[in-house]
Amino acid sequence: MAKHPPVIVHPPSATGGRRVTVRGQISGLAHGVVDLLEFLRRAGLDPDEVRLDDVELIEWRGGGPDVWL
């Protein structure tokens, strides 16, 4: 069974934004990188140390950090 990174950014919804799960728990609907970083901060990660291209931390589904609609 494949191991997923602890953060999953799901594909954009039809109404905009992307659901974010951290360690299997839904964190909320992010409408941009600022929202995503806030969810990660609340989960105990330092946003200043997060690299959005870190594939061991974040799995982007349906587009990368530049796709929100």
Residue 4 is predicted with a pLDDT of 81
List of residues 6+ apart from 50 with CB closer than 8 A: 37, 40, 57, 58
CA distance 13 to 42: 23
Query: Domain residues of the chain, as ranges?
Result: 7-60
Q: Report the DSSP pairing between strands 7-12 and 25-30.
A: unpaired
Whether residue 1 is predicted with pLDDT greater than 60 in this model: the reply is no
Summary mean pLDDT of the chain: 94
Q: Tell me the sheet residues that pair with 12.
A: 18
Q: Which pTM does this prediction carry? A: 0.93
List of residues 6+ apart from 35 with CB closer than 8 A: 17, 20, 28, 29
